[in-house]
């Protein structure tokens, strides 16, 4: 009887993102989108740290999705269609910009968060804007054994499946491992992936690559393996795993817009400037949080336990 050998994915690159300015007075550490360009289908991944009066006042998007995961504190959100609220520590907001949206994201009063931009296929770029929002308590968790917790934001792990609909096939998970633990996570062949280490340290991939807090690690792009592995020594670790199916389409990226061709980008500029084809509500829009979150809406920052 022939035995089947399972192959684990390798880690081929690691780096420590540097602080850089973004928005109005905010600071981000960019894992993807800076020195590391796109990792199809991921366009950008930022660790953002922001406190009032800094933030991300009214700005547009088209052609992709933003995934905002609050690590500490809270962020207020408001768009030109009247969708508004506060997302707090442990919450996730999955926003499909689609054909067009204008929104603001401001700290309430301070926050640390991960924001990921997920590209949309050409057939999805002009879809209607949409939101999927899950509170910390409503995000399902897998606990394959004591000392291992996996918060399943998108995708499936150890029989636990997220309710988030991913237009672009994607998995996003928040892993917490106690000391001296090991975990495996299936990753479909052909998918690209990366890891962001939030706290502690661990050993990742087939070659037990050492990953430390605040570092980004990238899975090999040969995509030969069928699962990802992580383990700890004497120190615990918390990390995020991101993986997605490449779209393999042209990317034309200008600021807050991501399309497939230069002609589509020119049309996007025209639509935004003339309030057409998805940007009609942008005319005369100014969010109530443009200058910061009103005092009555502020909530004390808090830290979430995954």
Question: Which parts are annotated binding residues?
Answer: 59, 61, 103, 105
What CA–CA distances, in Å, run from 54 to 21, 239, 293, 295?
A: 11, 27, 11, 15
Which of these, 38, 29, 105, lies nearest to 67 by C-alpha position? Answer: 105
Binding site members for Fe cation: 59, 61, 103, 105
């Amino acid at each position: 009887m022939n035995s089947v050998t399972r192959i684990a994915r390798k880690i081929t690159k690691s780096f420590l993102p540097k602080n850089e300015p973004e928005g109005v007075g905010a600071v981000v550490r960019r894992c993807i989108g800076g020195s590391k360009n796109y990792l199809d289908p991921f366009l950008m991944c930022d660790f953002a740290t922001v406190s009032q009066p800094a933030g991300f006042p009214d700005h547009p998007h088209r052609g992709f999705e933003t995934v905002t995961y609050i690590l500490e504190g809270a962020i207020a959100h408001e768009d030109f269609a009247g969708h508004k609220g506060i997302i707090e520590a442990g919450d996730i907001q999955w926003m499909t910009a689609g054909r067009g949206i204008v929104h603001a994201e401001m700290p309430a009063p301070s926050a640390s968060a991960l924001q990921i931009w997920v590209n949309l296929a050409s057939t999805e770029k002009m879809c209607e804007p949409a939101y999927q929002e899950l509170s910390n308590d409503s995000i399902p968790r897998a606990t394959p054994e004591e000392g291992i917790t996996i918060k399943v934001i998108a995708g499936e792990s150890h029989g636990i499946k997220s309710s988030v609909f991913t237009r672009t096939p994607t998995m996003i998970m928040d892993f917490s491992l106690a000391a001296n633990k090991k975990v495996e996570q299936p990753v479909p062949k052909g998918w690209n992936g990366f890891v962001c280490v939030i706290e502690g340290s661990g050993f990742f991939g087939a070659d037990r690559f050492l990953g430390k807090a605040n570092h980004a690690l990238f899975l090999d792009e040969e995509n030969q393996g069928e699962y990802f592995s992580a383990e700890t020594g004497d120190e615990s670790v918390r990390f995020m795993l991101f993986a997605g199916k490449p779209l393999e389409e042209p990317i034309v990226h200008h600021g807050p817009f991501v399309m497939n061709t230069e002609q589509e980008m020119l049309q996007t500029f025209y639509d935004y400037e003339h309030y057409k084809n998805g940007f009609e509500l942008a005319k005369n829009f100014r969010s109530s949080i443009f200058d910061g979150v009103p005092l009555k809406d502020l909530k004390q920052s808090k830290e979430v336990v995954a």
